[in-house]
């Protein structure tokens, strides 16, 4: 399936590196390293140079933390979206938000994608996406309210639940007027899930890919990796790349990442093994 992310189009065998830029003081991974404009701009320059096709900008930490109202979220992200749009017109600009009022402002500033991180909590968000011809990412969060950590959450079948919820949200976005090729689904590892749930989602990701909707995975340095290997946040790269390879083999299209180069090489290798991508050079046994 072809993907159209705002003004950018990707073929059915294209994969996309979505580099994370957090405009927060309390992000779990970088601890606020890109809260200020200067470091955030440097991060964008670096990841674009490393080959990221997409920048995902967030103004509110996903979990518990500092309270951030809509006006403050807009202040943190909308001007930065405008800067990225002007500086790198060939890069897809995404904003991680669940609020329609924030979505409207960032679309006006030039955002191509609304990454609805809390699974349709604000139903008007997809209407904003349709109004601005933006793409939308539909996530599975187990019905939790924004910024809520899971506690003893249970599913009869977590993969079936993720498929049912994300495809329902996708159909709702389609009905609201979002173009079919501009709708992506995300099982949302760790969101509304314990470690066993996220491992099962990874193992069975091919079932989500089989729905026909493009699949995004956000695996980078997540808790399910850390708990599986008993490693702190800054030591989870190898585990992240192992999970990435499994998802790439299954056919995930978009990878939300902290480490662009390592993830790109992992995904390219897995897609070549799967027969979806030719090696860049293949002279062994020929010359």
Catalytic entry in 43, 104, 256, 264: 256
Residue 36 lies in a domain: yes
State yes or no: is 281 an active-site residue: no
CATH number, residue 232: 3.20.20.20
- Name 160's Cβ contacts closer than 8 Å, sequence gap at least 6: none
Confidence band (pLDDT; 50, 70, 90) for 64?
Answer: low
44: helix, coil or strand? helix
% of the chain exceeding 90 in pLDDT:
86
- The range of the structural domain enclosing residue 107 comes to 3-273
How many whole angstroms separate alpha carbon 92 and alpha carbon 55?
Answer: 6
State yes or no: is 193 an active-site residue: no
Say what the pLDDT of residue 193 is: 96
Residue 23 lies in a domain: yes
In the block, residue with structure tokens 């992000």 = 27
- Give me the number of domains the chain comprises: 1
Catalytic entry in 222, 236, 253, 264: 222
How many whole angstroms separate alpha carbon 220 and alpha carbon 254?
Answer: 12
Residue 278 lies in a domain: no
In the block, residue with structure tokens 């002279």 = 283
Q: What is the pLDDT of residues 94-105, one digit of tens each?
A: 999 999 999 999
Residue 268 lies in a domain: yes
Q: What is the pLDDT of residues 138-179, one digit of tens each?
A: 999 998 888 788 889 999 999 999 999 999 999 999 999 999
- The rounded radius of gyration (Å) of the Cα atoms in the chain is 18
- Burial (CB count <10 Å: 0-12, 13-18, 19+), residue 83: middle
Does the global pTM surpass 0.85? yes
């Amino acid at each position: 399936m072809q993907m159209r992310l705002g003004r950018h189009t990707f073929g059915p065998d294209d994969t996309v590196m979505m580099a994370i830029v957090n405009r927060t003081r309390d992000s779990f991974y970088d601890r606020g390293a890109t809260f200020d404009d200067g470091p955030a701009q440097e991060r964008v320059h670096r990841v674009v140079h490393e080959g990221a096709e997409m920048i995902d900008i967030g103004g509110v930490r996903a979990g518990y933390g500092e309270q951030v109202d809509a006006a403050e979220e807009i202040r943190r992200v909308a001007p930065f979206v405008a800067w990225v749009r002007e500086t790198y017109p060939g890069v897809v600009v995404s904003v991680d938000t669940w609020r329609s009022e924030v979505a409207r402002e960032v679309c006006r500033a030039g955002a191509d994608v609304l990454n609805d991180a809390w699974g349709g909590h604000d139903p008007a968000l997809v209407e904003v996406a349709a109004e601005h011809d933006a793409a939308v990412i539909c996530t599975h969060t187990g019905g939790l309210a924004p910024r809520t950590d899971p506690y003893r959450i249970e599913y009869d079948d977590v993969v079936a639940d993720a498929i049912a919820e994300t495809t329902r949200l996708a159909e709702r976005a389609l009905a609201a007027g979002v173009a079919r090729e501009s709708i992506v689904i995300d099982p949302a590892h760790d969101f509304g899930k314990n470690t066993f749930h996220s491992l099962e989602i990874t193992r069975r990701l091919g079932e989500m890919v089989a729905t026909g909707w493009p699949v995004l995975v956000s695996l980078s340095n997540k808790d399910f990796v850390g708990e599986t290997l008993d490693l702190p946040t800054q030591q989870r790269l190898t585990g992240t790349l192992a999970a990435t390879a499994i998802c790439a083999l299954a056919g995930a299209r978009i990878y939300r990442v902290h480490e662009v180069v390592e993830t790109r090489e992992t995904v390219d290798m897995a897609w070549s093994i799967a027969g979806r991508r030719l090696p860049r050079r293949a002279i062994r046994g020929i010359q």
